[in-house]
Amino acid sequence: MQILDKPWQNWINENVARGCAYEAMLADMLKAGIAKDVAVFNLNNRSNATSVEGQGVSNQQTGPYEQEASYLFQHDNTIVTQDGQQIQVAMRVTAPDVVLLDKFMTHAECDAFCELSKSTLTKSTVVDDATGAHVGHEHRTSMGTYFTLGQNDLVKKIEARIAEITGTPVPNGEGIQILNYASGGEYRPHFDYFPDNTGGRVHTAKSGQRIITVIMYLNDVKAGGATVLPEINLSVYPKKGSALYFSYFNSKGQVDPSTLHGGSPVVDGEKWIATKWIRERTYM
């Protein structure tokens, strides 16, 4: 696919930084004679984190987090992905960068993820601060399993959808993780980015920091189980097929502490989610 020249790339980045709507930018590009597939490709594959590409990650906070443009374009209410999914933008917060997406997945896709995962669930872990090892913890009481990148057609489809809407390459994503919380199950508030300590650096050494999380809700929960962001007093209730996106890393290498978040206890029924974490660079 044709990559547009530097002036066009600068034009895209400047307009994104100004908060321009995706559709308005696309219309201007088409008016200027750029083919639609080239315009869409260049809009979706811009990188607002290129300046950190290839450098060692630094989590040393040198001041308050400086909010930059969202990876997820402001669309006019609906995002239609290449595979025809009509995603509805239900809610957006700009700082921190948080977007709630309705109809991100079909109910059939949600059911298939749960069905494919049931037989391989094991107790979820957290990263040990001192060693980087994955260890069980009372703060995370779910069962989980991972798919490898592109493991099957469903995984490939959802990975492509996430890559498309975030403008990040599929190989920068960690494998999709499926989590199942029984009644009482929770994930206490935490950051998805790695801390600047020995354990954290074990994980950032090769692929850099985590930059984006997408939590996909695979079922409706009778009571409880909201994902909460306590720093901004936000509670997102699980709704089958919807997805919560948030990002927390900027081109200066800062991480955003206001993305502290947790999964509150399930009160009645069970909760199924799929989580995608995206890295600065190819995940290995």
**Residue 275 binding result from Zn ion, ligand PD2, none, given CB thresholds of 5 to 8 Å by partner type:** ligand PD2
For 197, what's the count of Cα atoms within 13 Å in the CB-facing half-sphere?
10
E strands in the chain: 78-80, 86-93, 97-102, 122-123, 126-127, 134-135, 143-146, 177-181, 187-190, 210-217, 223-224, 227-229, 234-236, 243-247, 261-263, 266-268, 271-279
Task: Give the residue closest to Zn ion by C-beta.
Answer: 192
- Give the nearest distance from C-beta 133 to Zn ion in angstroms: 18
**Residue 263 binding result from ligand PD2, Zn ion, none, given CB thresholds of 5 to 8 Å by partner type:** ligand PD2
List the beta bridge partners of residue 196. Answer: none
**Residue 214 binding result from ligand PD2, Zn ion, none, given CB thresholds of 5 to 8 Å by partner type:** none
- Residues 175-192 as b/e (b if ≥16 CB within 10 A, e otherwise) read bbbbbbbebebbbeebbb
**Residue 227 binding result from ligand PD2, Zn ion, none, given CB thresholds of 5 to 8 Å by partner type:** ligand PD2
Calpha distance 175→170 (Å, rounded): 10
Q: Does 256 bind Zn ion (CB under 5 A)?
A: no
**Residue 283 binding result from ligand PD2, Zn ion, none, given CB thresholds of 5 to 8 Å by partner type:** none
Calpha distance 186→142 (Å, rounded): 7
Query: For 257, which DSSP code?
Result: G
The footprint of ligand PD2 (CB under 6 A) covers: 179, 187, 192, 213, 215, 227, 261-263, 273, 275
- Give the nearest distance from C-beta 233 to Zn ion in angstroms: 17
Q: Which is nearer to Zn ion, 75 or 262 (CB)?
A: 262
E strands in 107-174: 122-123, 126-127, 134-135, 143-146
**The pair of three-digit structure tokens given for residue 192, joined into one six-digit string:** 């998805």
Q: Which is nearer to Zn ion, 192 or 280 (CB)?
A: 192
- Pattern 185-204, Zn ion, x by CB under 5 A: -------x------------
- Give the nearest distance from C-beta 21 to Zn ion in angstroms: 29
Q: Which is nearer to ligand PD2, 8 or 191 (CB)?
A: 191
- Give the nearest distance from C-beta 48 to ligand PD2 in angstroms: 22
- Give the nearest distance from C-beta 263 to Zn ion in angstroms: 7
- Give the nearest distance from C-beta 214 to Zn ion in angstroms: 11
Find out whether the peptide bond into 257 is cis, omega within 30 degrees of 0: no
Query: For 194, which DSSP code?
Result: P
Task: Give the residue closest to ligand PD2 by C-beta.
Answer: 263
How many residues line the site for Zn ion (CB under 5 A)? 1
Residues that bind Zn ion (CB under 5 A): 192
